[in-house]
Amino acid sequence: MADEIRAEMVANVWKVVAAAGDSVEEGDTLVILESMKMEIPVLAESDGTVVELAVNEGDVVQEGDLIATIE
């Protein structure tokens, strides 16, 4: 089952840590957002493989935007 990870707030994509094809475990950092005086790691919510990493460093994500898909 695909697990879509979406942005919970408007933020700047500061670092992309994972890549499509990576195996990840629940709790692994996928990307790091920065916004409003905080660094916000976006974590894998399940074990699996990153099938899509939908953002690049320097992108601005809006609340609800897809960040990654894990299967």
Partner 1 sequence: MISDARATGCAVRPARPADYPAIARLTVAAYAADGQLGGEHGYERVLADVAGRAAHGEVLAAVDGASGAILGSVTYVRPGGPYAEVSRPGEGEFRMLAVDPAAQGRGVGEALVQACLARAAAGGCTAVVICARSFSAPAHRLYARLGFVRAPELDWSPAPGVELVGLRLALPAAP
Cβ distance to partner 1 smaller for residue 15 or 49 = 15
How far is 35 from 69, CA to CA, in rounded Å? 22
Can you give the binding site for partner 1, defined by CB under 8 A? 9-10, 12-14, 32, 34-40, 58-60
Shortest Cβ 43–partner 1 spacing (Å): 13
- Which residues are within 8 A (CB) of 57 and not within 5 positions of it... i.e. 6 or more apart? 13, 14, 15, 16
Rg of the chain taking only CA atoms, in angstroms: 11
Q: Between 2 and 9, whose beta carbon lies closer to partner 1?
A: 9
> Toward partner 1, which CB reaches closer, 14 or 51?
14
